[in-house]
Chains A and B, each alone.
Chain A
């Protein structure tokens, strides 16, 4: 039997080994459920609909409560669709025309989904999936014969293959039985992928339509790291993947056991592994993660759902809340990173054709010095009061040396700031995320106390590719040698001026790139909470002197693919 290999996009990491199950849902077609034999009583049917709607509402509230902020938002939007008056009016109309509640709901959902799908604009057209998702939940309560049933009773070790799954489908999967998911139509940024990652289910998107013709029960490997599906793999591939899967499992188990211990490389170099925090909801997972401090506190969450900028007192209270979870460890706070891509109702935000190249980060703050002053005041007071080892202020979006000088001048105006900085309680650093800052790092380093590399934006600006545009997102890889070279340049500037160079950003959260980062000379890592244990474990397996040779090779590469292969070879040796 020959192996069939399908390539797609990696959407949720991990390896799944099992048997194919091709899921072809009954499509929601209007003719599927006709008027039933018995005459429907409109009032009763309408009450059945209201009851189903109340049940779905509770279901969505429960799902939102259990999910993290990003996932919760999906369910809250679906809740809004559930209660939409256009939907309920359509259902009511069909019930009054003689349909049973189930058929009326199906009819209404199909119509509304269809009218959205016909829109010319792709974003709005694809919202029809959200309408169908809500419809599915309603129909699951109205009729016993539902999709939920099919997915809740899958055989063990299922590699689930489908055209597309909805958030509803994913939340009804039996996670003990499904080992991996392969999809045709989804994207790694879709709701489905976010949910799969939160459940730790490996997923690959963008597979070719042929996979839907595959037979059931075939041996399959789903590689959510490289984005591949192998069907009927040969013995050698299977064994190698079994090894990888078992290694990943052991890696995870061992990593979690030692999460609270410091990360020290094989050649006895301690590497602080810190955590990135986006909002208050992150606090609990972050504080229990074993992180050696906060490497990046994004402060924009302070402005969410507000109608005025919080004053220094209120900001201080919010920062102290974070500080209390990280006693005697550093707390790095990024100054407000505002701009045209994050509009706020109460702040004058410029309307720009290209906000990512516009008035953002420190540029915006220097235009609105009162906002900068308020935040600096809160942070200086934090350095006095907080139980942390030090407060680090991170300046976002620096592209010019003068921006750092002006921020320093604003800080110097704060009472006690100079004294706190001299004593090391308060530190100021540059977030290196614009190529010009990386190239001029040797001019920035003498002015500040640390540098931190923001890989997401650095890669995006370096390669002139928008990460949110799926047509070019793959170009914006931090693994690209061009990005690695300016990272190396930044590290060198830090070493010459004897200040630490850290890395924050998604790149550092992948344990497999840790040898490369340490080899480049990065001294501190800041990662998302779920990755802290894994990254610490990867640090413990790294020998920095050897990693340096790896980094030298990587810097000589011409393509990101070559760097990937280098790292794969390292992994194979471990």
Chain B
């Protein structure tokens, strides 16, 4: 059976256009379908390819533009997720996504 193949942004010649950020899942119910929907809808606003890895479960990377792949992360409250974006608008994409996960005490900068 073939599993979905997530794209993995390669740190390539576009070097500077690739950036990453680590966020923590705050919701008590974990990263559930509703938040997954918000992530996909936000990610789709950008051209950048965005991958997410669950650092605590060692799952991923998966495509942030697919809700089904995001579910594969099995991200529970407290899990750290690494977001890697590559493309011309990689930085604003990560900032917008980080808003969804906004850290306590240090709210993400307004996008």
**Nearest chain B residue, comparing its CB with the CB of A111:** B1
Q: Is A458 an interface residue (CB 8 A)?
A: no
| Distance of A289 Cα from B34 Cα, bound (Å) | 30
Secondary structure call for the A interface: helix
Report the nearest B residue to A346, measured CB to CB: B107
Q: Report yes or no: A86 in contact with B68, Cβ–Cβ below 8 A.
A: yes
Is there contact, CB below 8 Å, between B68 and A112?
yes
B69 x A86 contact (CB < 8 A):
yes
The answer on a CB contact under 8 Å between B4 and A89 is: yes
- Could you tell me which residues of chain A, from 104 to 161, have a CB within 8 Å of some CB in chain B? 111-112, 114-116, 119-121, 123-124, 127, 130-131
Q: How many A-B residue pairs have CB under 8 A?
A: 89
Most buried by A among B28, B40, B99, B110: B28
- The answer on a CB contact under 8 Å between B26 and A343 is yes
Q: List 19 A-B contacts (CB under 8 A).
A: A76-B37, A77-B67, A84-B66, A86-B63, A86-B66, A90-B2, A111-B1, A111-B3, A112-B4, A115-B72, A121-B76, A130-B33, A340-B28, A346-B107, A349-B26, A349-B104, A351-B24, A351-B26, A351-B104
Do A127 and B71 contact each other (CB < 8 Å), given the known contacts A121-B76, A350-B104?
A: yes
* Cross-chain contact A348 with B68 (CB below 8 angstroms): no
- For residue A29, CB closer than 8 A to chain B, the reply is no
A89 to B2, CA, bound (A): 12
**Interface: B16 (CB within 8 A):** no
Cα of A119 to Cα of B72 in the assembled complex, Å = 7
**B102 sits at the interface (CB 8 A):** yes
Across the interface, A81 reaches (CB within 8 A) one of B26, B34, B68, B108, namely B68
Q: How far does the Cβ of B26 sit from chain A's closest Cβ, in whole Å?
A: 5
A112 to B30, CA, bound (A): 21
Q: Which residue of chain B lies nearest to A85 when distances are taken between CB atoms in the complex?
A: B66
B28 near A116 (CB under 8 angstroms)?
no
**Does B19 touch A at the CB level, under 8 Å?**
no
Interface residues on chain A, number (Cβ under 8 Å): 37
- Considering only CB atoms, which chain A residue lies closest to B33 in the complex? A77
Residues from chain B with Cβ under 8 Å of A114 in the complex:
1
A337 at the interface (CB under 8 A from B): no
CB distance from B54 to the nearest CB of A (A): 11
Residue of A nearest to B66 (CB): A86
Which A residues are closer than 8 A to B by beta carbons? Answer: 73, 76-77, 80-81, 84-87, 89-90, 93, 111-112, 114-116, 119-121, 123-124, 127, 130-131, 307, 340-341, 343, 345-351, 355
Give chain A residues whose Cβ lies under 8 Å from the Cβ of B3. 111, 115
A307 to B92, CA, bound (A): 16
How many angstroms between the C-alpha atoms of A345 and B76 in the bound complex? 18
Q: Which residues of A contact B107 (CB under 8 A)?
A: 345-348
A-B CB proximity, top 10 nearest: A121-B74, A86-B66, A86-B4, A80-B37, A86-B68, A77-B33, A343-B26, A345-B102, A124-B74, A84-B68
B34 touches A115 (CB 8 A): no
Question: Could you tell me the distance between the alpha carbons of A422 and B51 in the complex, rounded to whole angstroms?
Answer: 60
Kindly list chain A residues whose C-beta atoms are within 8 Å of the C-beta of B24.
351
CB-contact partner of A85 in B1, B33, B37, B65, under 8 A: B65
Please give the distance in Å from B82's CB to the nearest CB on chain A: 18
B4 near A127 with CB under 8 A, answer no
Residue from A130, A350, A351 having most chain B Cβ neighbours under 10 A: A351
Q: B104 contacts which chain A residues (CB < 8 A)? A: 348-351
Asked if B13 is an interface residue, CB under 8 A from chain A, the answer is no
Contact code string B51-76 (vs A, CB < 8 Å = 1, else 0): 00000000000010111110110101
Residue interface bits B94-111, CB-to-A below 8 A is 1, else 0: 000001101011011010
Report B-chain residues with C-beta under 8 Å of the C-beta of A124: 30, 71-72, 74
Q: Shortest Cβ distance from B48 into chain A, in angstroms? A: 15
Chain A residues closer than 8 Å to B37, beta-carbon distance:
76-77, 80
Please give the distance in Å from B56's CB to the nearest CB on chain A: 12
Bound complex: CA A349 to CA B102 (Å):
9
- B65's nearest neighbour on chain A, judged by CB, is A85
Do A116 and B67 touch (CB < 8 A)? Answer: no
Complexed CA–CA distance, A313 and B63 (Å): 42
Would you call B34 and A123 a contact (CB within 8 A)?
no
Residues of A within 8 A of B68 (CB): 81, 84, 86-87, 112, 116, 131
The answer to whether B105 and A348 touch across the interface, beta carbons within 8 angstroms, is: yes
Q: How far is the CA of A112 from the CA of B1 in the complex (A)?
A: 10
Contacting A at CB under 8 A, from B17-44, are 24, 26-30, 32-34, 36-37, 40-41
Residues of B within 8 A of A345 (CB): 99-100, 102, 107-108
Chain A residues contacting B67 (CB-CB under 8 Å) are: 77, 80-81, 84
Q: B102, A307: Cβ atoms under 8 Å?
A: no
Which of A77, A90, A131, A346 makes the CB contact (< 8 A) with B34? A77
Cα–Cα, bound, A86→B67 (Å): 8
